[in-house]
Amino acid sequence: MQVYADNAATTAVSKTALDAMLPMLTDCYGNPSSLHTVGQKAAEKLSAARETFAKYLNAQPAEITFTSGGSEADNQAIVSAGAIGEQKGKKHIISTAFEHHAVLHTLKKMEKRGFEVTLLPPPENGVITVEQVKEAIRPDTCLVTIMFANNEIGTIQPIAEIGALCKEKNILFHTDAVQAAGHLHIDVQAMHIDMLSISAHKFHGPKGVGVLYARKGIFLTNVIEGGSQERGKRAGTENMPGICGAAAAFADACEHMDENAAHMISLRDKLLTGLAQIPHSIINGDLKQRLPGNVNLCFEGIEGESMLLLLDEKGIAASSGSACTSGSLEPSHVLLSIGRPHEVAHGSLRLSLSEYNTEKEIDYILAVMPEIVNYLREMSPVWDELEHGQRKHQI
């Protein structure tokens, strides 16, 4: 059985998205900046795509900037807010310790430019509180950037409350909604979101397309300089197939959000409950404030990558917080941030579902996981001692 359970890493492109892309890869190949009919047909598609994103976010089309992905959107949001803050002499930014690296590394860059960054430590349940944000606000705070939902442990942050607070305090509020968009209801007006990042490949759209929503009046700093595309705020010939696929996927995801979520939540909870039966395991992240598709646990005494390899042999595509492949030997900064010790964090497993997953698949995962954990534990010198009480239990 083949089970794709790594939808937080990327999703399969939906038929709807592909159908929207194909015309742009065949007949409608024009450059939207071109005056002629071939170009203007593309320009119309570009406008339509912009309107789609605006509609489902409750924003204006002119507030939508297309980027090459979630990372670029995050970069541009933070750099822009920083530039605005700097002009007012405000150089303090509030964020969280478990943001995506697209945010964290951009914040590092801002620190090099003289900004001060406060990274809020998430509580053990992975849900930042409004009080934490409130306490961190200073007179020179120019930006609060807090992710809508965490990419590893799936916890949903109190975005509307943080938005209201920031509005009251007159501070720009950006949210990395890469994991949330298409999965959770977003209303930039009601939630008082000033800037928001989206990446299409997280909701069955294509890779290489992102959206930066920025409220009217927020002056964007270019990350990419050049032509006057995107109102001069993002240079480069538009990725038309990608943009059209992204818009189709977003509309589709938003239209079917509730039914998809209901399906995923039932699978998720079955999987979470089932896996939590394995001894010396612990669920990461709040059980309620959680993305419909996110399952994340740590299994003591074993290491994530070897678990993934064995799952892969069984046809199950999953991921681990250990991020071993990316060349880092550090365990997930997210798991460390919610207080998991290094050795426990190494043994994490993330299974992220989409509406394409079935109950049969969940049953299959539940059937193979205990064997895999046992097999690795038997090989593990750590487990041996954990079992015999020679090593301190971590969980």
Ligand X SMILES: Cc1ncc(COP(=O)(O)O)c(C=O)c1O
Verify binding: residue 329, a copy of itself, rule CB under 8 A. no
Question: With CB under 8 A as the contact rule, which of the stretches 46-54, 293-301, 310-318, 376-384 interacts with a copy of itself?
Answer: 310-318
Verify binding: residue 176, ligand X, rule CB under 6 A. yes
Number of chain residues interacting with other proteins (CB under 8 A): 57
- Least distance (Å) between residue 208 CB and ligand X: 8
Structure tokens at 303: 């290491």
User: Which residue among 45, 53, 63, 70 contacts a copy of itself (CB under 8 A)?
Assistant: 70
Verify binding: residue 71, ligand X, rule CB under 6 A. yes
Pairing of the two strands 348-352 and 294-299:
antiparallel
Number of chain residues interacting with a copy of itself (CB under 8 A): 74
Question: Which active-site residues does the annotation give?
Answer: 324
Nearer to other proteins, 33 or 58 (CB): 33
C-alpha closest to that of 147 among 164, 162, 135: 162
Verify binding: residue 170, other proteins, rule CB under 8 A. no
């919610």: which residue's tokens?
338
Verify binding: residue 181, ligand X, rule CB under 6 A. no
Nearer to a copy of itself, 32 or 301 (CB): 32
Q: Binding partner of residue 38 among other proteins, a copy of itself, ligand X, none, CB under 5 to 8 Å per kind?
A: a copy of itself
Pairing of the two strands 64-67 and 316-317:
unpaired
Question: With CB under 6 A as the contact rule, which of the stretches 105-113, 172-180, 239-247, 373-381 interacts with ligand X?
Answer: 172-180
Type of residue numbered 84 = I
Verify binding: residue 281, other proteins, rule CB under 8 A. no
Verify binding: residue 383, other proteins, rule CB under 8 A. yes
Question: With CB under 6 A as the contact rule, which of the stretches 64-72, 110-118, 127-135, 320-328 interacts with ligand X?
Answer: 64-72
Provide the mask over 126-165, with x wherever binding to other proteins is found by CB under 8 A and - wherever it is not. Answer: -------------------------xx-------------
Nearer to other proteins, 141 or 155 (CB): 155
Q: Binding partner of residue 354 among a copy of itself, ligand X, other proteins, none, CB under 5 to 8 Å per kind?
A: none
Q: Are the C-beta atoms of residues 353 and 361 closer than 8 Å to each other? A: no
Q: Binding partner of residue 379 among a copy of itself, ligand X, other proteins, none, CB under 5 to 8 Å per kind?
A: other proteins
| Rounded distance between C-alpha atoms, residue 21 and residue 1, angstroms | 30
User: Which residue among 46, 59, 77, 102 contacts a copy of itself (CB under 8 A)?
Assistant: 102
Nearer to a copy of itself, 14 or 132 (CB): 14
Number of chain residues interacting with ligand X (CB under 6 A): 16
Residues 226-255 that bind other proteins (CB under 8 A): 226-229, 232, 235, 237
Q: Are the C-beta atoms of residues 182 and 253 closer than 8 Å to each other? A: yes
Structure tokens at 260: 């998809």
Question: With CB under 6 A as the contact rule, which of the stretches 67-75, 323-331, 368-376, 385-393 interacts with ligand X?
Answer: 67-75
Question: What are the angstrom distances between the C-alpha of 90 and each of 15, 38, 190, 196, 338?
Answer: 47, 47, 26, 21, 29
User: Which residue among 49, 54, 93, 100 contacts a copy of itself (CB under 8 A)?
Assistant: 100
Radius of gyration for the chain, computed over Cα atoms and rounded to the nearest angstrom: 22
User: Which residue among 102, 172, 275, 311 contacts ligand X (CB under 6 A)?
Assistant: 102
Query: Where does this chain bind ligand X (CB under 6 A)?
Result: 69-71, 74, 100, 102, 147, 151, 176, 178-179, 199, 201, 210, 236-237
